[in-house]
Amino acid sequence: MAGAPGGVAVSNSLEIRPIAGAIGAEIGGVDLADELPDATIRTIRQALLDHCVIFFREQELNSAQYLAFARRFGEPIEYPFVRGLDGFPVITPVVKLPEEKINFGGVWHADTTYLDEPPMGTMLLAREVPPYGGDTLFANMVLAYETLSAGMKRMLDGLVGISDSAKADGSRTREDRARDTPNAAAPSRLTAEHPAVRVHPETGKKALYVNSAHTVRFKGMTEEESAPILLYLFRHLSRPEFTCRFAWGPGSLAFWDNRSAQHNAVNDYQGHRRVMHRITFKGDRPR
């Protein structure tokens, strides 16, 4: 990959431009509706590993094209609690209506850590955006772990977090969609145990793997005993220097690595409609 002025990297005609010091890069020079060569897909995947989340602008994709692009990176899976689009069950509509006050995903989290095998990553495609607001924040969990004290690292390396789909911080953000477009096969509650620090299966880097939407306590501890540690970690992982902020436009697409990043959808567009289409990828059991 050759360097270019202004921090832009150029590879296989792609332009990869970091948007913050810690996380995130925009990729230009590509039409995702095309049948992209394998070399381009490898470059995009490497950019994902390097930057934790990558963004594309002004992509005109119908559902079939969107799904075909996603399948180049892994196996799409259905979201447990909200029904997918007709004919495309692995594409989940993420909608906030003008009269609704709570937005889907409006809390710092990694996706569905209450699953035994949480997603490898997630794509989100903007179909309809408000005239202002509705940005998404992303945070680098590798940096969040690396900047902890040696003593905190030693303690966390032996802890297991318990994730619960019924935790109020997370469940309340999906209530409107789960009510309007429920997945009839969804269980009432899902729980899973994962290490508080996971090792990325592709990069080998350690990342903090607890989140305020789903992690309720540590294994072997009560919620009350776990709370002070978790509260500190939730505040730590969202420090501004670990984050980037993405402003959506029609046709914007974000692809984040759920193993090394968390995200938070900003709820600052009351009275406006926002429609996104989400695809999540089969992952593995965190180690």
Length reported for the chain: 287
How many C-beta atoms surround the C-beta of residue 223 within 10 A? 11
pLDDT at 9: 74
3-state SS track over the chain: CEECHHHCEEECCEEEEECCCCCCEEEECCCCCCCCCHHHHHHHHHHHHHHCEEEECCCCCCHHHHHHHHCCCCCEECCCCECCECCECCCEEEEECCCCCCCCCCCCECCCCCCCCCCCEEEEEEEECCCCCCCEEEEEHHHHHHCCCHHHHHHHCCCEEEEECCCHHHHHHHHHHHHHCECCCCCCCCEEEEECEEECCCCCCEEECCCCCCEEEECCCCHHHHHHHHHHHHHHHCCHHHEEEECCCCCCEEEEECCCEEEEECCCCCCCCEEEEEEEECCCCCC
The confidence score (pLDDT) of residue 74 equals: 98
Q: What pLDDT does residue 108 have?
A: 96
Q: How far apart are CA 98 and CA 25, in angstroms?
A: 30
pLDDT score, position 75: 98
For the record, the structure tokens of 78 come out as 């259905």
| Region 74-98 average pLDDT | 95
Q: Could you give all domains of the chain from N- to C-terminal order, each with its CATH number? A: 2-281 (3.60.130.10)
Which of 280, 233, 243, 237 has its CA nearest to residue 92?
Answer: 280
pLDDT at 30 over 70: yes
Q: Report yes or no: 52 and 140 within 8 Å, Cβ to Cβ.
A: yes
Candidates 101, 79, 102; CA nearest to 92 is: 79
Residues 6+ apart with CB under 8 A from 34: none
Catalytic sites, residue numbers:
109, 111, 263, 278
Q: Which range has the worst mean pLDDT, 64-78, 149-163, 164-178, 238-252?
A: 164-178
Mean pLDDT score of the chain, rounded to an integer?
Answer: 92
* Contact status, residue 287 vs residue 116, Cβ threshold 8 Å: no
Beta bridge partners of 22: none
Tokens representing residue 232 in the block: 């500190």
Q: Compute, in degrees rounded to 10, the torsion defined by CA atoms 159, 122, 266, 152.
A: 20
Q: What is the pLDDT of residue 55?
A: 98
What pLDDT does 80 receive? 87
Q: How do residues 113-144 score in pLDDT, each as one tens digit?
A: 999 999 999 999 999 999 999 999 999 999 99
| pLDDT at residue number 177 | 46
pLDDT given at position 182: 58
Q: Is the pLDDT score of 2 beyond 50?
A: no
Going by pLDDT thresholds of 50, 70 and 90, the confidence category of residue 105 is confident
Model confidence at 4, pLDDT cuts 50, 70, 90, reads very low
What is the reported pTM?
0.90
> For residue 243, what are its two tokens?
């984050």
For residue 14, the Cα-to-chain-centroid distance in whole angstroms is 23
Which tokens go with 211? 């989140």
Reported as a single tens digit per residue, the pLDDT across 170-226 is 555 545 545 565 555 656 689 999 999 999 999 999 999 999 999 999 999 999 999
| Pairing mode of beta strands 53-56, 25-28 | parallel
* Pairing of β 243-246 and β 191-195: unpaired
Residue range 241-248: mean pLDDT, rounded: 98
Biggest CA–CA distance in the chain, Å, is 53
